[in-house]
Structure 1
Amino acid sequence: MRCFQNIAKLIKSKRVGHTKNYSQSELSHLLGYKNGQFISNVERALCNIPLKMLRRVSEILDIPAEDLKMAILKDQESTLNRYLYGPAKRRNDDNIVDTDDIRDENEDGNIHQLDEHKKRKLEHDKDNEGDDEDRDDFYKKDVA
């Protein structure tokens, strides 16, 4: 699972704090997306800003390029750590720390509220670790 938490926080804070007070839909349209849902997806950390849009986002929201770069690099590092050290591990500075499940923390160390689907998925995956057949059934039920 890729991490987009840092870019999500940055985009949301800059959009909400901007003098023009853009709505998610307005910002999506300014970036050329017909679907006004795009920025909502970014702010919920479901996806990243495409590389070709970074300069435009920087210009519209007055975000220094270095801030965008750092947020993306932090997310990339978090993603790599999850893949390299496994889903039950988080890398914190130079230490590897066990966690009960994959949860993202904000800068204060508080755990983000997970939506119901993510909660059910984490609980199910934790209870049925290694049981791929049950996991497939779970996802089929959730989609239906």
Structure 2
Amino acid sequence: MKAYETGLQNVARDDPSYAQLNNGKDAARRQHEKRIDIVRQLPVEIVEEILMLLPKEFKSVCLQVSNAWCKKTSCCANAWKVSSDDDIDDDQMINTLQCIAAHVEDLTINTEENEVLDQYFLHMGKGHFSNIRSLHLTATAT
């Protein structure tokens, strides 16, 4: 939609491309309005059950789909109780920490990146990991 709006701002109204851009924008808007976000419509309990079945790397991706998905999936405490960064890349884990930290009870950190460790400890210092019961730093962590 933004691309169409930018195009419409940069093309003269009497240019034949203007009508094409306007039609394209209308079609894109109609298509956008047809989308159904199933996660947004499901109760948190069902989303939580689904999340618990997903591998860790897919759970963290769900947090990044949209604001609505982040809000819904971060409310699923049971899905985040046990957390490890073994199965997902460091950047992805850093992006999910603030959303899930309050639910994590058992945390395993396995990274050689000091920057990643700093992010974990920063969140711990701010009290984001308020329910943590166990913390494991593996031999490869520095």
TM-score range, shorter chain: under 0.3
* TM-score (ref. length: structure 2): 0.26
TM-score normalised per structure 1: 0.26
